[in-house]
Structure 1
């Protein structure tokens, strides 16, 4: 039973290659929430375990973080902010789902059935790595087989992306899989040589992703191997030697690519391109620091980074339309302010310390190898997720957030010494709150997916879908994805058509303000009596040096006839505005 639900929660979301606009990863994420909701509902049958000691305190710290994040999301949407209701519900729902899964991980590792439950979790991670490697080999060596239906198409020649479609995401998944295989080997669910072979295979996959984050993740595997002296000898050697294995595969792929011109080695190609982190992330981080200085106490509000950054003057900004700071502490600081961010980080650091301390205490050996291996595997999972969160935003994706939360809870419980009593286990009492929470998670995932179909029908209409304006009007009524219909409503007009009023932009501006939306909004402001604000938006658009913006400004290259007013976008604004003053 545990295996079935573990595979649904962990493996299944990594298999979906099919996607429909407007979101590339929505189906993967919805399936993860559905699977984890059902898994949690089943785990509710485990006996309750108290949260005592330093590990229990760490669990409460993480719970507080997730509750604060949920409150911020709901408040930004329904109380003090203008965030669309759908985005607020998604943000708060993800935080509350992570809270539920965190406690499910604690309960699992505290129960008499911990071996079976954790075997299902780590086994599912291992299975995800095995299937992912099949996808990776196709994408790297025979990309013509990647049809986009069963196997996602690679983003660049020779680079493995799995069915998560992002190499860094796939790399993090493979590090998770290394932890799963190592746990199975440490607990003798797999022979040590099989577990070591799987870890080696997954490291090859990490090389094929050309991910720098995955490369650094090898150090975490080494640290686990060094600190855990009770691991089987071959398995420990494999973990300690992870960086060397990585280098050997890197060198082998380099030789193969130079020997066979039909083979492309993406990691080598990245050495010669201009994808250095400083080309974009350092610029966005500099902008974010300026925004934090301007809003140090309360920030710009949950989910408001993109619109605030886009409508704030930054002449040297990166030209991509960032919807995230690509750094979790900076994201919190710019949206929540410094005081709350300090509190959140302090709580997270306390929880990290409690998790990792289990690998540093000599007396921990007395508890036996099974517990130590669980702490090690969970610590590496949390560590790679934390590292990745300093460079991107993996925890905004349910297929990373929820396994990380489960691992954190299980790792804390494994070293807490707390165990449910056999009598409690025999009583078979189910936790009503956890059961209800899991069922609600699953139902909300289904509801959100059903709601999503209205947005899909706008951007990729099915047979008999009806006229665009009818599809848009229907989509605007949807509670989860209505803001996507708003985007289509205001950006699908012809140049000669009158613009929608600024109020029509009220929701969609808070999702992702891109070049198409900026030109439409600038026109709307100008045509509805707010010409100077429209010009100010155009000034911000110029900073992105986007082809759509250049096309919008191309009329300014032609001199107007005598006595004719130039188009509004050809004149500079007469005053400055804050980003909030520019909102409808």
Structure 2
């Protein structure tokens, strides 16, 4: 694969060229990291993506002549959204203000990437920018596709440091989540079609790359992959109606072939694996077409609408969907011992539930403005570069209707960057003599510094949190409360990762009366953030030991309304505390009665 960059284009603007390379690196390198461990499996990829994005912006800021491109209109709506989040946090005194801080940081990062995309096009041109970004995305997608194939069919020991270990029976490459893996492969498929049409990749290499991407997509077992290729086909048909030129006709044909090949692969690949006994046991999609977690989205969406109805103006608060959902009657299938749904798996409903009508309207207005600008700019005549960028952004937006990919910084940054490249910037915005450039430099620099500080604090605290992994969930407070791990977690409870730190403190707290007031505070706060069965059970024990048996019994009734395996796990947890007080035995007996009718 070769992308002709041309010395003339690169010499036009050295800062622009370096920024483009760093932006391209942001679209590939974070997606190749094979290290994914609790408590946040995507922390290092997300952190690395944000760091690369900030480096790209820093190069633009350091240029001798600061670019005069103003912030694209969608970014202004996002700034309004960030201001709204800050105002809500000040008005409602949230349990974890750190959640709002991180949400604002994500929004600010997206705004910077929007601006960076517009700046790159201003400096390097749309075609050149699109080609470089497409080449980087395709390289990352091919590497991940190969990693997913190796992962699925058996990873040799000499690749253990390069390919993530397979958990379950669905390939996910080095992205650690099968649906996000399918998302990234789809970005690579769109990039492949674009580079092929532009003549940057030969026909035989295109066929080989397409076969690898399609096969790996089928191994992901993600239904979203089918939505992506159908989206490409629909966009290809639409763009050909507007621009019946040769390149666009070839794109339409290629997108149709890709969609047909992907549909066929999802039918053939699982049967091929079964026939030859390849891959992990019980792999394949047959049992997931009409079952599995997909059906849980319906009650999750209904629950999100209920939360929105209860707080229609400003929502229940950033990061508090899970806690509010638990209070509203979280379906038993949406929680188990160590997991709980923290999102309704729909961007619009999530925004409505957590930020209300105002927050959702601000974000959706920004997206609508972007869509309108793209349509006005390219409805007369589509270009292959615009097709690839709109196709890639569409993957993120379509996926956001059934998942939450934009909650991950590496996917958010890539999507926002691509959106910025096709955002209309008027001639007045460019300005003849860099009008207002100094003010823009200060504004962008201020946001950059704020994000850099948050990234530095996040990396420092996560590094400290990560070393408590072995003891933080079981024995951190056992024996001496002044242990090094306990001290570390208590200190982190006042930092930017306080929710994670207090979750570990709550999970590691002995089920006795020692420091009971502190345990009650921890568990009450964590219930707002992550009310998994393990946390609910511990909260019930602490309440019972505090003489609040009625409240503890209400929580135990929620645990009883679970599948048998989950009830057994909860019973084992309560049994650890039965020597502390006789009331625990009554809670165990209540739990063993099994499901009962619960008022929502």
The CA deviation at 1:542 is 2.9
Q: Counterparts of 2:508 and 2:352 in 1: how far apart (Å)?
A: 35
The answer to whether the 8 A contact 2:81-2:359 is kept is: no
Is 1:308 the counterpart of 2:324? The answer is yes
Q: Deviations over 1:163-183 (max 9, x none)?
A: 111111011001111232333
In the alignment of these two chains, the number of paired residues is 552
Say if 1:470 and 1:263 are closer, same or farther in 2 by CA, change over 3 A: closer
Larger RCO, structure (CA 8 Å, separation 6 or more): 1
Q: Which residue of 2 aligns with 1:23?
A: 40
Q: Which residue of 2 aligns with 1:368?
A: none
Give unmatched runs, 5+ long, in structure 2: 1-17, 592-597
Matches within 5 A, 1:139-158: 139-145=151-157, 149-157=161-169
SS for the counterpart of 1:337 is: helix
The CA deviation at 1:75 is 4.5
The CA deviation at 1:500 is 2.9
The answer to whether the 8 A contact 1:146-1:153 is kept is: no
The CA deviation at 1:277 is 4.8
Q: Counterparts of 1:570 and 1:142 in 2: how far apart (Å)?
A: 46
Q: Which residue of 2 aligns with 1:524?
A: 542
Is 1:351 the counterpart of 2:370? The answer is yes
Q: Which residue of 2 aligns with 1:551?
A: 572
The answer to whether the 8 A contact 1:102-1:409 is kept is: yes
Say if 1:538 and 1:428 are closer, same or farther in 2 by CA, change over 3 A: closer
**Greater alpha carbon shift after TM alignment, 96-105 vs 441-450:** 441-450
Q: Counterparts of 2:155 and 2:504 in 1: how far apart (Å)?
A: 33
Q: Which residue of 1 aligns with 2:502?
A: 486
Q: Which residue of 1 aligns with 2:53?
A: 36
Q: Counterparts of 1:38 and 1:301 in 2: how far apart (Å)?
A: 32
TM-score (norm 2): 0.80
Q: Which residue of 2 aligns with 1:237?
A: 253
The CA deviation at 1:565 is 9.8
Q: Deviations over 1:72-102 (max 9, x none)?
A: 5444555423242432222111111111111
The answer to whether the 8 A contact 2:28-2:140 is kept is: yes
Say if 1:8 and 1:175 are closer, same or farther in 2 by CA, change over 3 A: same
Is 1:184 the counterpart of 2:205? The answer is no
Q: Deviations over 1:525-582 (max 9, x none)?
A: 333354333333333333344343233567999xx99xx996357679xxxx999xxx
Q: Which residue of 1 aligns with 2:14?
A: none
The answer to whether the 8 A contact 1:305-1:335 is kept is: yes
The answer to whether the 8 A contact 1:325-1:331 is kept is: yes
Is 1:373 the counterpart of 2:384? The answer is yes
Q: Counterparts of 2:124 and 2:288 in 1: how far apart (Å)?
A: 54
Q: Which residue of 1 aligns with 2:451?
A: 441
TM-score (norm 1): 0.82
Say if 1:254 and 1:23 are closer, same or farther in 2 by CA, change over 3 A: closer
Q: Counterparts of 1:442 and 1:339 in 2: how far apart (Å)?
A: 28
Q: Counterparts of 1:413 and 1:181 in 2: how far apart (Å)?
A: 25
SS for the counterpart of 2:423 is: helix
Q: Counterparts of 2:207 and 2:444 in 1: how far apart (Å)?
A: 36
Q: Counterparts of 1:420 and 1:8 in 2: how far apart (Å)?
A: 27
Give unmatched runs, 5+ long, in structure 1: 366-371, 580-584
The CA deviation at 1:364 is 2.6
**Greater alpha carbon shift after TM alignment, 78-87 vs 173-182:** 78-87
Q: Counterparts of 2:377 and 2:256 in 1: how far apart (Å)?
A: 18
Computed over aligned residues only, the root mean square deviation of the Cα atoms, in angstroms, reads 3.9
Say if 1:67 and 1:422 are closer, same or farther in 2 by CA, change over 3 A: closer
Matches within 5 A, 1:159-558: 159-191=170-202, 194-195=205-206, 197-226=208-237, 227-228=239-240, 229-230=244-245, 232=247, 234-254=250-270, 256-263=272-279, 268-271=284-287, 275-314=291-330, 318-320=334-336, 321-359=340-378, 361=379, 363-364=380-381, 372-413=383-424, 431-435=441-445, 437-438=447-448, 440-460=450-470, 469-478=483-492, 479-498=495-514, 500-501=516-517, 502-505=520-523, 507-545=525-563, 546=566, 547-552=568-573
Matches within 5 A, 1:99-178: 99-145=111-157, 149-157=161-169, 159-178=170-189
